[in-house]
Amino acid sequence: MLSAMIPFSLEMPRAIHFGVGALLKLPEIIRDVGRKILIVSGSRWLAGSRWESKIMEGFTDCSVQRLSCPLSEPTSRSLAEASAAAAGFAPDALVAVGGGSVLDTAKALSALLRYPGPVDRFLEGVPGAVPVPGPCLPWVAVPTTAGTGAEATKNAVVRVESLGVKRSMRSSHLLAYSVVVDPQLAASLPASVTGTSGLDALTQLVESYVSRATTPFVQAIVEGAFPLMLDALTGLHRDPENLDLRAKAAYGALVSGIALANAGLGAAHGFAAAVGGMYAVPHGLACAVLLPPVLAANRDVIRDAVGRLVAPWIESSTRRDPVAWLAEEVRSLLSAYGLPSDLRGFHIPTGDIPELAEKSSGASMRGNPRELSMEERISILSRVI
């Protein structure tokens, strides 16, 4: 158990508004950030949602331009195109309404519209990259899924097509001006999206809790959010419009973002970034599929910590290994949402596994509770590819 007296820093959005009805805060927030607003959304969600009129009420007396994002995660190319499309409008602020890819797009644009140029120059691990130089355009996050926690993070994940990798633009300047988490917005999500996004959040909660850089604060908030996230995932595939469960999932995702922003992640996310950089594999699915073998690889150093997280579900008399219990629970949830337990359906050539193992190096892998050799990385990937 960590000492509560160890030094740590804490970085979070300026304000967070959470709960059913939180959307009513949006007009007040928008009045504070400006009169020229760029609305960043998915290509279909906002225009086809029963919430569109309610959301647009917040932009009365504003000059508004809409920007639709591709369905996939932001890329160097998509961000260059979005920056060019928005530059002439010169917004005062951005409002992002959507899932993690939409939020990351807005987050990156908040920097690129203030500091024009290619996104690659701000991406970790890209030769010649430099930090984001200073404050960015204010942006407001309105998540419509419960998964990545991107509303609360200080990094935007970008796929660099030329390198076949995903890299992060990371800076405290990218934290949201304000976050509005209204669980009602996710009530109509398909089961597959609920499952992949929710399991991404669950993975983030676990990995930030056992990360090398974890803190007493992070462990405290994860201990409160993990049971809610697990409860939500256990029930939402049977009762998808249950607002209580949606609220638990939304809270779990929000906390997972705060946790990862302040403690980092682990090998499951390191592998997922490599796989997603080279192939069109949904990020949340990759994280969930890789979590069980990563848990097994870390078992000896995380058993006590994981035991604290899952204690309510394991009777002490059974002496069951908490790490094995959690891995099996993740596999059961994948099945419950109709998701595969491996990535073989994506037809990734096994000959690419060594390259994927090499490309998994990065911030997430460095946060893993123990060093994984290249041979161990190859072994883990071979179990799911």
Give domain status of residue 265, yes or no: yes
Same-domain pairing of 147 and 292: no
10 in a structural domain:
no
Q: Are residues 320 and 279 in the same domain?
A: yes
- Provide the Cα torsion 208, 211, 217, 220; round to 10°: 70
Q: What is the pLDDT of residue 260?
A: 96
State how far the Cα of 322 lies from the Cα of 294, in Å rounded to an integer.
Answer: 14
289 and 216 in one domain? yes
Parent domain of 272: 190-384
Question: The domain that contains 115 carries what CATH number?
Answer: 3.40.50.1970
- CATH number, domain with residue 334: 1.20.1090.10
Nearest alpha-carbon partner for 322 in 297, 296, 290, 348: 296
9 in a domain, yes or no?
A: no
What's residue 1's pLDDT?
Answer: 61
Same domain, 271 and 208: yes
Last residue in a domain, options 185, 206, 223: 185
Q: What's the rounded Cα separation, in Å, for the pair 95 and 105?
A: 11
User: What are the residue ranges of helices labelled H in the chain?
Assistant: 26-33, 45-48, 52-56, 76-87, 100-112, 191-210, 216-236, 243-263, 267-278, 283-310, 322-336, 353-359, 363-367, 374-384
264 and 333 both lie in a single domain: yes
Prediction pTM value: 0.95
pLDDT at 58: 81
pLDDT of residue 69: 87
In a domain, 166, yes or no: yes
Choose one of 130, 154, 185: the last residue of a domain. 185
260 plus 245 within the same structural domain: yes
- With a cut of 50, list the residues of the chain below it in pLDDT: 317
- The verdict on 210 and 358 lying in the same domain is yes
Residue 101 shares a structural domain with residue 162? yes
Look at the chain and report how many structural domains it folds into.
2
| Phi and psi torsions of 85, nearest 5° | -65, -35
Same domain, 91 and 119: yes
For residues 141 and 150, the answer to whether their CB atoms sit within 8 Å is yes
Q: Would you state the pLDDT for residue 70?
A: 78
Statement to judge: residues 152 and 223 lie in one domain: no
Task: Give the whole-angstrom CA distance, residue 31 versus residue 64.
Answer: 13
Quote the CA–CA distance of 269 and 56 in Å, as a whole number: 35
- Residue 5 in any domain: the answer is no
Query: How many residues belong to the chain?
Result: 385
pLDDT of the residue at 316: 58
In a domain, 66, yes or no: yes
Compute the Cα dihedral for 114, 119, 124, 125 and give only its sign: negative
Looking at the fold, whether 200 and 115 belong to one and the same domain comes out as no
Which residues lie below 8 Å from residue 46, measured CB to CB, with a gap of 6+? 39, 52, 55, 66, 97, 98
**Same domain (yes/no): 49, 151:** yes
Establish if 195 belongs to a structural domain.
Answer: yes
Looking at the domain assignment, is residue 225 inside a domain?
yes
Residue with tokens 């701000």: 122
Domain stop point among 185, 217, 247: 185
